[in-house]
Amino acid sequence: MRINKELTRKKFEQILGTDKQCYKYLADIKWKDGYQCKRCKCDRFMRGKKPFGKRCAKCHYDESPTAGTLFHKVKFGLSDAFGMVYDIVTSKKGANSIWLAERYGVRQKTAWLFRQKVQRAMTSSLKHPLEQDVDVDEFEIGTPKKNQQGRSHSTNKTRVVIAVENREGKSRTSLR
Ligand SMILES: [Zn+2]
């Protein structure tokens, strides 16, 4: 999904407001070039445990759409996690964890840890903007933001990268 115009909160919630939409979003990116089992390379699958997850027909390895992304094993709903990313990215001060905890009804530590993850992903996206084996899915939010390194950036949009690790170096995913 490439969003180049300003993405309002309302619009964001229409696209990624439910857990189902978020799982589908991640699955679409993860398997956009087709499915291949991470373990045995089989390309046949059944439905996995998680929504839009896939389970290898041969070795039964079950892969969640969130596997390898910063959303993996979050202790709250996936759409809340996406919402937090939106808030962190669009807020001028990066949305503090107390505020996030209150808004999403999670413990402050949980919010703080997740925020750290998001910020690390953002930092690494600046450091390694486009590694050749990374498929980047752009998710731009039109909030002007000063570049912390003082270098000029092609746009003034904030980008968040949701990295999907893939040991084969293929079909990594980013939400930027
Ligand atoms: Zn397999």
Listed residues: CB within 5 A of ion ligand 1: 37, 39-40, 42, 56, 58-59, 61
Whether residue 76 lies inside any domain: the answer is yes
Query: What is the Å distance from ligand 1's center to 147 Cα?
Result: 43
Within-domain flag for 168: no
**pLDDT digit string, tens, across residues 7-17:** 778 888 888 89
The dihedral region occupied by 75, where left means phi > 0, alpha psi between -120 and 50, and beta the remainder, is alpha
**Gap between the terminal Cα atoms of the chain:** 10
Instruction: Compute, in angstroms, the gap from residue 9 CA to the centroid of ligand 1.
Output: 39
45 CA → ligand 1 middle, Å: 8
Does the residue 135 lie in any domain?
yes
Distance 55 CA to ligand 1 centre (A): 8
Residue 151 alpha carbon to ligand 1 centre in Å: 44
Whole-number percent of the chain with pLDDT over 70: 65
The string of pLDDT tens digits covering residues 107-124 is 999 999 999 888 777 776
Asked whether residue 56 is assigned to any structural domain, the reply reads no
Asked if residues 168 and 35 have their Cβ atoms less than 8 Å apart, the reply is no
Q: Name the domain count of the chain.
A: 1
In the reported structure, the alpha carbon of residue 63 is separated from the centroid of ligand 1 by a whole-number distance in angstroms of 10
Does some domain include residue 127? Answer: yes
CA of 31 to the centre of ligand 1 (A): 15
Q: What is the pTM of this model?
A: 0.72
Q: Is the CB of residue 91 less than 8 Å from the CB of residue 126?
A: no
pLDDT at 119: 79
45-47, strands of its sheet edge to edge: 45-47, 54-56, 62-63
Report the SS3 class of residue 140.
strand
Q: Which residues pair with 54 in a beta bridge?
A: 47, 63
Read off the pLDDT of residues 65-76 as tens digits, 9 standing for 90 and up. Answer: 988 788 888 889
In a domain, 80, yes or no: yes
Between the CA of 40 and the centroid of ligand 1 the distance, in Å, is 4
Distance from Cα 117 to the centre of ligand 1, integer Å = 29
pLDDT band at 134 (very low <50, low <70, confident <90, very high): very low
Ligand 1 centroid to residue 37 C-alpha, Å = 5
Position 94 in a domain: yes
**pLDDT at residue 60 is higher than 90:** yes
Burial of 13 (0-12, 13-18, 19+ CB in 10 A): middle
In a domain, 103, yes or no: yes
Domain that holds residue 148: 9-15+70-159
